[in-house]
Amino acid sequence: MLARLIPIHGAFPKSSFYSSCRLMANRQNLGLIDGQWVSAQSGKTFPVLNPVDSSPIERVPDMDATDTRLAIDAAAKSFKTFRKTLAKERSELLRSWYNLMVKHAEDLAKILTQENGKSLNESRAEVKYGNSFIEWFAEEARRINGEILQAPFKNRELFLLRQPVGVAGFITPWNFPHAMITRKAGAALVAGCTCVVKPSEDTPLTALAIAQLAEEAGFPAGAINVVTTSLENSIGVGQELCTNPKVRVLSFTGSTAVGKILYKQCAPSMKRLNLELGGNAPYIVFESANVDLAVNGAMSSKFRNTGQTCVSANRFFVHSKLYDEFVSKFITKIASDIRLGDGSKEENTHGPLIKESQLKIINSLVDDAREKGATIHCGGKHLPDIGPLFYAPTVITDVTKEMEIYAREIFGPVAVIHKFHDEEEVLQKANDTPVGLAGYFYSNDISQIFRVARDLEVGMIGINEGLISCTEAAFGGVKESGIGREGSSHGIDEYVDIKYVCIGNIQH
């Protein structure tokens, strides 16, 4: 089957955007399967659009389930030898990859901004964050150790091996197209797994760029494969990754609804699953909090990536004694600090929403709240004069349970602020959701800090801090926000099996 793949170098004209980058342009419009840069078997392509103005950036292969099977076969073939490499060798490969991504960090940031829309400063921060996972896992390689057990019988020796699971399938989102791949691939590759990456149809160029650098770093053919696909073919590609028995672990970052579908599709082959799903993060400002600190944290937590972040603050709860001050200072801070526009221009801090479907959802939620009596303090409108997908940073109060926005993960630049009076009341409201990814609260009462940290039903908590993600931390949620953890030393656990070995009849 793999012999059918025909590498096509430079098959499409070099775009003016890529000619401005130092990364090789003739690899950016092809998928990567078994060490070859290839078109789709069907020959079809689809456009990648710049969300700032909906202009086409590049065309990439519209791969389907057939291409995906080829990629899985390549990964399975490569796994037979890659699994036997030394931990030191895998560490050196990841270190080389990391060094190349640092060298090309500005190129990667420009590509990311073009296809995602976030500002260059945010893209640079993501690239630095994403690169750090490869650095981290390169250093963790020689610490994937087994265990020697104390045997219950004198003539036996018992030990545990940690061995790579096999082929890993990754389905990654558009909001962090660099970091969501490196966080998964770094852990899988360092454990000795090979992988097939299906990036979002909205942001495949970043995936192809970092895969190109992985190839330069020396990863063997088939260790990393990238399958690009349009929205039309995404379901078929995802289904192939879920049902193909050669894929032994699936890692997905996205919505809870899609995660449940993938969960069902993986059941027949009993795959290992790592699901990082939706959130509905509470952001609580207690009576003892420093209001200025809470406002600054709210800006970062709510409006980073124009609110399109799974750990974004989604439901603000502010103590009645600080409520008016917080709302006033928050609105003032939004007006002074946020500059919307083309993210490739250094003066702009925030870009557009990723696509029209996101804009329609935000418009619908805000309009419904307005019609049912909510107060819109700022924003609350589409800004077509800036671009087709820009939406004004918005603050809403007086939101009730009858409004659609009350219990929804907004995934946009809209902050809904509620008033509360006591700790028990706000904890009940904060936990009244089926998901539990992240949560935030501000307090200077040390007893309250310990109580609330234990009682909030989330997988990650920021206390007096609005930005909590880092390589060293275990990233993941509870309840319907997912299964497993990414990053930290625990991230490798998703890609290793524990094998028990018993040696009997030993003569002492």
3-class secondary-structure state, position 110: helix
Mode of pairing for the β-strands spanning 375-378 and 435-436: unpaired
Backbone φ and ψ of 78, nearest 5°? -65, -35
> How far apart are the two ends of the chain, measured CA to CA in Å?
53
Catalytic residue among 115, 126, 276, 494: 276
- The answer to whether the CB of 320 falls within 8 A of the CB of 419 is yes
Distance, C-alpha 167 to centroid of its chain: 20
CA–CA distance, 30 with 8 (Å, rounded to integer): 8
Burial of 416 from C-beta contacts in 10 A (0-12 / 13-18 / 19+): buried
- The answer to whether the CB of 338 falls within 8 A of the CB of 303 is yes
276 is catalytic: yes
The per-residue DSSP string of 160-208 comes to: EEEEE--EEEEE--SSSTTHHHHHHHHHHHHHT-EEEEE--TT-HHHHH
Distance, C-alpha 500 to centroid of its chain: 33
Counting every residue written for the chain, the total comes to 508
Burial of 159 from C-beta contacts in 10 A (0-12 / 13-18 / 19+): middle
**Sign of the C-alpha dihedral, residues 227, 109, 487, 433?**
negative
CA–CA distance, 491 with 132 (Å, rounded to integer): 14
- Cα–Cα nearest to 90, from 280, 253, 217, 226: 217
- The answer to whether the CB of 274 falls within 8 A of the CB of 241 is no
- Which two tokens mark 300? 């970062």
- The answer to whether the CB of 457 falls within 8 A of the CB of 431 is yes
Residues catalogued as catalytic: 276
